[in-house]
């Protein structure tokens, strides 16, 4: 993981106890879930998508859209909730996004989204929890 210290920190054992094996692979080892495999891809209710590692609000459902990629996609995160780094894995240069509170890998952001931002935050659904609006 990054050398940066985050407001929420856990030992490796604590992360493994908190997360499922798939969540751990995605969020702590920068993995990717199979496209179309997460129920949150199909979530349409009003509410907030939060980090599965620390419960920080990350994305509002009103900014979720169907990108056809097989992963939940959003225009923009909640302000200050997501940080970006350069990802040079697999012979590509991409922009990785991670939770600003706990550092967990969420997915990547691409400049091919719809207006108004033109961004597509392509997020692994297993990195998210969903809290319906009350």
Q: What is the DSSP string of 21-47?
A: HHHHHHHHH---PPTT--GGGG--SSE
Catalytic residue from among 38, 54, 97, 122 = 122
Secondary structure letter of residue 68 according to DSSP:
S
Query: Do 127 and 23 contact (CB within 8 A), yes or no?
Result: yes
Q: How far apart are CA 33 and CA 126, in angstroms?
A: 7
Q: How far apart are CA 106 and CA 28, in angstroms?
A: 9
Give, in order, the Cα–Cα distances in Å from 15 to each of 20, 50, 54, 109, 110.
9, 17, 10, 24, 28
Annotation marks residue 54 as catalytic:
no
Task: List residues with catalytic annotation.
Answer: 122
């Amino acid at each position: 993981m990054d050398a940066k210290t985050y407001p929420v920190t856990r030992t490796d054992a604590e992360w493994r106890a908190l997360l499922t094996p798939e969540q751990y692979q995605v969020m702590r080892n920068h993995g990717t879930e199979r496209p179309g495999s997460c129920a949150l891809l199909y979530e349409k209710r009003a509410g907030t998508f939060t980090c599965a590692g620390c419960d920080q609000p990350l994305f509002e459902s009103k900014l979720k859209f169907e990108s056809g990629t097989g992963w939940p996609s959003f225009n923009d995160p909640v302000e200050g909730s997501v940080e970006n780094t350069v990802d040079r894995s697999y012979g590509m240069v991409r922009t990785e996004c991670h939770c600003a509170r706990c550092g967990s890998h969420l997915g990547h952001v691409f400049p091919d989204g719809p207006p108004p931002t033109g961004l597509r935050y392509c997020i692994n659904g297993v990195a998210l929890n969903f809290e319906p609006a009350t």
